[in-house]
Amino acid sequence: MSKTVKKVGILTAGGLAPCLSAAIGYLIDAYTRKAPDVEIICYVNGYMGLLQGKSLTVTPQVRANWKAFVEHGGSPIGNSRVKLTNVKDCVKRGLVKEGEDPQKVAADQLVRDGVDVLHTIGGDDTNTAAADLAKFLKTNNYDLTVVGLPKTIDNDVIPIQQSLGAWTAAEEGARYFANVVAEHNANPRMLIIHEVMGRNCGWLTAATAVEYRKLVARMNFVPELGLSYERREVHGIFIPEMALDIPAEAARLRRIMDQHDCVNLFVSEGACVSSIVAEMEARGEEVPRDAFGHVRLDKVNVGGWFAKQFAEMLGAEKTLVQKSGYYSRAAAANAADRKLIKRCAVKAVQCAFARKGGVVGEDEERGGKLRAIEFERIKGGKPFNIQAEWFLQLLAEIGQPVSAAVEVKH
């Protein structure tokens, strides 16, 4: 069996998620159990390291210590955002020479390294890049197989039922806000905005709100002296998939502010981005974008935009915008994610020996079956189902009109 796969490569790419380090560890363990003679190398900084020929060898000592990877967040082998089909960007960054095809450079490096199977761990951008590379390899008769694992805390990869690291990110975001929310004591009429990651999908924002409310529900309160549940409650949730009636919501939130002296909002970083971008372009400002053409959300400041929209209408004396993204995405995987990551890693190794390429995940279009999903079916930007029963219940419990759950077409 080990004759069909003698050497494998692993890379992580895109933004961080609470699964990368654990996925590396579980892949190493799965190979060690199934075929300990298979060599493993890890490319440094994702596709960048592949183009540059920079890799690290998984030694017997590393294999013996594979559990250490599960204890940590981040990616010990490093990430980067590189799109192999964006030749201009690769040349500009010095990753390939003028006239070179990054995909061919990557393919030739894999051949030089003797790699039979490449495991890519990343989100939709990483795996669409992997799909492009897999297609190039097949078209040009390279005897190489690409097997991906689905990482994104946004949980927005089609048709992945549950992407790796998302559960942990929601739990960590909840812990983050459990401290931040106490800032309502710092000033009268406080507006606190918790900006959560999620470019096109509001799942993480909604799931974080659910996890946070679980934490609050376990706390004790003394309302007679201002220590009330209501002041720690989530008062509004705004995500990319929902229509936003600012005047109506401002009126509702103003009543909460008048009664409880504070308002706490959970906002997806991608909520109302089209409106913000339109305003920036109308002012003649350049909208910053990454190598994949995505708007740089860290530059457009969605949380600040929401603060500007609501502060005056709510009569807020002070506004605080806090982002939990970097805190959440660099965490170590929790128990639920570790279980899913391990299942996916074991399946990925099985697919490697079967030379079955694709992205390993629970295929929601195939009854949730764990399988190597065909690359051509992998897409980003899966919308969150705002008609999900648990989400509608969440809105009802916090007093936000369910009528607001009207899908916005992107």
**CA gap 260, 221 in Å, rounded:** 14
Q: CB 61: neighbour CB atoms within 10 A?
A: 7
Sheet of strand 369-373: strand arrangement = 55-57, 39-43, 7-12, 117-122, 145-150, 358-363, 369-373
Place of tokens 């970097």: 326
Could you tell me which of 48, 55, 51, 60 has the C-alpha nearest to residue 13?
48
**CA gap 189, 259 in Å, rounded:** 10
Q: Which of 154, 156, 261, 337 is catalytic?
A: 154
Residues 229, 262 contacting (CB under 8 angstroms): no
Beta strands in 100-258 (DSSP E): 117-122, 145-150, 190-196, 236-238
CA distances from 58 to 10, 31, 42, 293 (A): 10, 11, 7, 34
Could you tell me which of 52, 24, 3, 48 has the C-alpha nearest to residue 355?
3
Residues 171, 211 contacting (CB under 8 angstroms): yes
Looking at the DSSP assignment, which residues form a beta bridge with residue 149?
121
DSSP state of 199: S
**Does the annotation count 154 as an active-site position?**
yes
**CA gap 395, 405 in Å, rounded:** 9
**CA gap 137, 18 in Å, rounded:** 30
Catalytic site positions: 154
